[in-house]
C-alpha cells in the first residue's frame, strides 16, 4: 500500500480504563493534536455514539447497580455497539476520517467479563457474531489506582449533576478487578493495546499519547 493510499484510510483509536481515568479529556486533546498536523477526526463514545446506541445507553448507565446481570448488560452493549459501528465508526473510517472513541469492545471484555460473571471467551464469541474481526487500530489504557479514579469520577458527576453512576457505585473490589482486567488484555494483545500512567498530569499524558500515535502511525501522519 502506498503512502497516499494509507492516508485515505481512517484509523480507529480507542481510550480505555477504569472510572475517572481522564479518557474524555484525552480524546479531546488528541483530536486537537491531530488537527494541528492536518488529520481530520471525530470524537465518539460508548455506550452510545449513534442515535440508536444513545437510546440503549440510557438503559445501561442509569438505575441501580444491580439493574442488569452481566450477560444482559453485555447483550445490550453489543446491540448498541453494532449500531455505533455501522452508523458512525465504519462510514467515517471509509471516508479517511480518524475515529477517536471513549471506550469500545475492550470495556465489555473487562466490565462484564473479567470483573463480571461472563467468561471472556463467551464475550469474544458474542463479539465475533456481532462485529467479526473489528478491533481498534490502537487502544490506549489510562491506568491509575481505582481509589483515585473513583474520587475523580464522583467529583465530576457531582459537579455535572450526573445520574450515570451505575458503575461508580459498585464496590471497590469490582474496580480493582477492572484495573487487573485491562492489564490482562494488554498482556494478551501488546501490539494493539498500550498502557499509559493515568496518575501523571493531563499535559504529561497528552504528550505521551501523541508521541505514541506518531510512532505507531508515522508513515501516515508524516507522509
List the beta bridge partners of residue 15. 102, 140
pLDDT reading at 2 higher than 50: no
Task: Render pLDDT for 187-214 as a digit per residue (tens, 0 to 9).
Answer: 999 999 999 999 999 999 999 999 999 9
As given in the structure block, the three cell numbers for residue 23 are 479518557
Domain-wise residue ranges, the chain:
3-221
Considering the domain 3-221, what is its CATH architecture? 3-Layer(aba) Sandwich (3.40)
Residue 151 has pLDDT above 90, yes or no: no
3-state secondary structure of 199: coil
pTM listed for this prediction: 0.87
Residue 91 dihedral angles phi and psi, to the nearest 5° = -60, -40
For residue 157, how many C-alpha atoms fall within 13 Å in the half-sphere facing its CB? 18
Q: Report the pLDDT value the prediction gives residue 3, as an integer from 0 to 100.
A: 42
What pLDDT, on a 0 to 100 scale, did the predictor assign at position 172? 87
The total number of residues written for the chain in this structure: 223
The residue among 63 and 207 whose pLDDT is bigger is 207
The whole-number pLDDT of residue 156 equals 65
Chain centroid to Cα 19, Å, comes to: 11
What is the pLDDT at residue 90?
98
Amino acid at each position: 500500500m502506498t503512502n497516499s493510499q494509507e492516508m485515505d484510510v481512517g484509523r480507529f483509536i480507542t481510550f480505555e480504563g477504569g472510572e475517572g481515568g481522564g479518557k474524555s479529556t484525552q480524546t479531546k486533546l488528541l483530536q486537537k493534536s491531530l488537527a494541528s498536523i492536518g488529520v481530520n477526526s471525530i470524537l465518539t463514545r460508548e455506550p452510545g455514539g449513534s442515535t440508536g446506541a444513545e437510546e440503549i445507553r440510557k438503559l445501561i448507565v442509569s438505575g441501580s447497580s444491580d439493574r442488569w446481570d452481566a450477560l444482559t448488560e453485555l447483550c445490550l452493549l453489543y446491540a448498541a455497539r453494532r449500531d455505533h459501528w455501522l452508523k458512525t465508526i465504519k462510514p467515517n473510517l471509509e471516508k479517511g476520517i480518524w475515529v477517536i472513541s471513549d471506550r469500545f469492545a475492550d470495556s465489555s471484555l473487562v466490565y462484564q467479563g473479567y470483573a463480571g460473571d461472563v467468561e471472556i471467551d463467551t464475550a469474544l464469541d458474542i463479539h465475533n457474531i456481532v462485529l467479526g474481526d473489528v478491533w481498534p487500530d490502537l487502544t490506549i489504557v489510562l491506568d491509575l489506582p481505582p481509589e483515585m479514579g473513583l474520587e475523580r469520577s464522583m467529583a465530576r458527576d457531582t459537579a455535572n449533576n450526573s445520574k450515570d453512576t451505575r458503575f461508580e457505585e459498585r464496590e471497590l473490589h469490582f474496580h480493582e478487578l477492572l484495573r487487573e482486567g485491562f492489564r490482562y488484555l494488554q498482556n494478551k494483545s501488546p501490539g494493539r493495546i498500550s498502557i499509559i500512567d493515568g496518575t501523571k498530569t493531563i499535559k504529561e499524558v497528552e504528550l505521551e499519547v501523541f508521541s505514541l500515535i506518531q510512532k505507531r502511525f508515522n508513515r501516515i501522519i508524516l507522509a
